[in-house]
Structure 1
Amino acid sequence: MFEITDLQKIGVGLVGFGTAFLFLGILLLFDKGLLAIGNILFICGLACVIGLERTFRFFFQKHKARGTVAFFGGITVVLLGWPLIGMLVETYGFFLLFRGFFPAAINFMRRVPVLGSILNMPGIRSVMDNLAGDQSRLNV
């Protein structure tokens, strides 16, 4: 097993709070204050979990430039007062940045007992297969 440091535990908490603030900001009709706090907490939590250097290397890779610009541009637009447009741009950047993690995350969620049954329902399964890029399931 690997040891989880206290800083990483704090980072997981910050990511959790950031996600909660983002969810509340969207739920409360794109409240720009909650969205801004959520974005800041999410980025700080990510930096605590994987470290500053690895966070910097993750965001500033050459092949992820478009995703990084969209993600941070969306955060900037939210901070400037256009929360709906900023969240759309930020979501696009998030998908570009983290699309390499989607197949593993979807395959993990398919193994969770109740969630796996929901994700394997006919309409949802095709969407999840497209997101995961699972070619063997698309040919069935």
Structure 2
Amino acid sequence: MSEPPRPPVGHVLRATPVSALVAVSAGGAIGALGRYGLTRAFPSDPSEFDLATFTANAAGGLLIGVLMVVVTEVAPGGRLVRPFLGVGVLGGFTTFSTYIVDIGRAANAGDTALAVAYAFATMAVALLTAAAGMYGTRRVLLRSNRGEGAR
């Protein structure tokens, strides 16, 4: 059985509430400014490991893991929390487009080993920190729920 055709992107955006679009836009500006601050604090050459992008993707993965547990399991009613924080702030903060450019820059600079190591390390750490954020948040919530039940 085939899936029904998806509506065009323009139709989906017109059907999205303006408040959600504003939340994503405002959050994206905040996240992008945070990422820009990291690139200014930790500049790198093409033949160096890009610590700023790596840090943004690792920290962003952790925070996305925490956020997804909170907005889906703890407080699912916040209509604009996920668009603002998840898509906006953390989407603007994490940067897999720059990650791809950094891989290309290292390869073009002749450092294939750095390009490959950076590619795998960044993806692995981002996924692991997201899982750790989810796991850690659930553990903290379970511990706090047990403490409340004992009173």
Relative to the length of structure 1, the TM-score reads: 0.28
Which protein has greater RCO, CA pairs closer than 8 Å, 6+ apart?
A: 2
TM-score, normalised to structure 2, is 0.27
